[in-house]
Amino acid sequence: MELPRPTCTNGHETPSGAQFCPVCAAPLLSTTSGRSSEAYRRGLLERSRQAQRARRQRRRGRLLVVTFAAALAAVLTLTFRGGGGKPSPRSSATTKSGVTTATTIAPRPTSSSGTAPTGPRNFTVRSMNCGQLNCTVGVRDGPGRSHKQVGYVDTGRVVQIDCSTHGEPVQDKNTGQQSDVWYRYTGSNKYSSALYLDGPPVPSC
């Protein structure tokens, strides 16, 4: 006599030895009389519900991980894309220990193909290191303080400048202004920082 195949709580026949129905994942009903009681059936149903809850929790956990990873990727993408922006070249303010210092960058020199006229231009020497009339501005043999100082010019003097170039940045210790632009004196290879010379636009050297 062939023994009846076990069935799940939903009536599906299942292979022998299985613990849950391969069709609906419901618990199986035992064919033995000792395990066909209502208490045993309730126990199987409870284990089935627990297994289903565990599967749902795992799915939710995986979904949370995927969502977090996608959000993190979006934030990193926006950060790297936005990090390429440059601050305004005109001015900025930096506050440290309650003291605000302004940083001003002199305008970049105009290229020879622009609208700046060629030839010597008159510039007025000004000093930002002191307020006295006898202040002087250093003249160097290259566009930077690392170059040798070969002379100086007095504040208020009018000098001839023929071009500008970028070199070593200079920051005035009293005002906090800084610039890497250097002006070249006409007919020479001598320079002074653009921080201390006022004049019209000139072409690049």
Residues 71 and 101 in one domain: no
Query: Which range of residues forms the domain containing residue 119?
Result: 91-198
Q: What is the number of structural domains in the chain? A: 2
- Tell which residue, 162, 172, 173, 165, has the closest CA to residue 199: 162
Residues 51 and 137 in one domain: no
pLDDT for the residue 112: 42
User: What is the separation, in whole angstroms, between the first and last Cα of the chain?
Assistant: 108
Residues 30 and 117 in one domain: no
Q: Would 203 be classed as within a structural domain?
A: no
Residues 106 and 189 in one domain: yes
pLDDT for the residue 1: 47
Rg, Å, the chain Cα set: 41
Residues 122 and 194 in one domain: yes
Residues 63 and 103 in one domain: no
pLDDT for the residue 90: 40
Residue corresponding to tokens 């070199």: 167
Residues 36 and 74 in one domain: yes
pLDDT tens for the 205 residues of the chain, in order: 455 667 776 677 777 667 677 777 666 665 544 444 567 677 778 888 888 888 888 888 899 899 988 888 888 888 777 554 444 434 333 434 444 344 444 544 444 445 556 778 999 988 665 655 567 889 999 999 999 999 999 888 999 999 999 999 998 887 788 999 999 999 999 999 998 899 999 999 8
- How many other CB atoms are there within 10 angstroms of residue 110's CB atom? 17
Residues 102 and 194 in one domain: yes
Q: What is residue 196's DSSP assignment?
A: G
Q: Would 1 be classed as within a structural domain?
A: no
CATH of the domain at 149: 2.30.30.40
Residues 60 and 107 in one domain: no
pLDDT for the residue 74: 86
